[in-house]
Amino acid sequence: MNELIDRILQISNEKEGKSLLEMTLKCTEELGEVSEAVLSYTGACGCGYKNKTIDDVKEEIMDVFIVIVAMAAKVGLTKEEFKPIIEGKLNKWQKVINR
């Protein structure tokens, strides 16, 4: 997993020409595609005809993940900052779930 995140960070730092605003809009576009895939996969009213599978949902989720990591790189988040921030967020999430 670390190698993949490193690769996303490297590609983003070397090649990504989008601004933070453009990347944010791209992220919302990708999230919309996750929503579309989930609605189709679950057979939500009016959406089942697209015949999306769980694999389509997984792929769309990974698109969001890639954009999010690239956005983190865009704002200068380093690998050294990544772990403690994620750990703090996970601890907070776990406390909420365990209530």
Q: Please, what is the average pLDDT of the chain?
A: 92
The pLDDT value recorded for residue 14 is 79
Tally of CB atoms within 10 A around 17: 5
Tell me how many domains the chain contains.
1
pLDDT at residue 1 tops 80: no
Give dist(CA 23, CA 68) in Å, integer: 8
**Section 80-99 average pLDDT:** 92
pLDDT one-digit tens code per residue, 36-63: 999 999 999 898 888 999 999 999 999 9
Question: Position of tokens 């919302």?
Answer: 28
Q: Residue 70 belongs to a domain with what CATH number?
A: 1.10.287.1080
pTM recorded for the entire structure: 0.85
pLDDT one-digit tens code per residue, 10-24: 888 778 889 999 999
Q: Which domain holds residue 7?
A: 2-97
How much helix, strand and coil, in percent to the nearest 5, is found in the chain? 80, 0, 20
